[in-house]
Amino acid sequence: MTSIAVEKCQSGQVKARPGSTEAETQPAAFTISSSFPERANKISVLIADDHPVVRQGLAAILSSENDIEIVAEATDGEEACELYDQHSPDVLMLDLRMPKKDGLQVVTELMSRRVSKPRIVVMTSFDSEQNIRQTLSAGAKAFLLKRSDPQQIREAVRRVAQGGTFLPPEIGLKLAESMSRSELSKRETQVLHYLALGRSNKEIGRALYISEGTVKHHVKSILSKLDAMGRGEAIAIAARRGLIHLESV
CA angle 167, 84, 121 (to 5 degrees): 5
201-208 vs 212-226: helix crossing angle, rounded to 10: 110
How many alpha carbons lie under 13 Å from residue 227 in its C-beta half-sphere? 3
Instruction: Tell how strand 43-48 and strand 3-5 pair up.
Output: unpaired
Would you state the pLDDT for residue 37?
44
Neighbours of 141 (CB within 10 A): 23
If 0-12 CB within 10 Å is exposed, 13-18 middle and 19+ buried, where does residue 212 land?
Answer: middle
Would you state the pLDDT for residue 210?
93
Q: What element of type H or E holds 145?
A: strand 142-145
Produce one character per residue of 75-94: b if its CB has 16 or more CB atoms within 10 Å, e if not: bbbbbbbebbeeeebbbbbb
Would you state the pLDDT for residue 205?
92
Across the chain, which has 249 residues, the per-10-residue mean pLDDT values are 38 43 41 40 94 94 94 94 93 92 91 83 86 88 92 95 92 77 83 90 92 91 86 85 67
What SS3 state is found at 142?
Answer: strand
Produce one character per residue of 124-135: b if its CB has 16 or more CB atoms within 10 Å, e if not: bebbbbbbbbbb
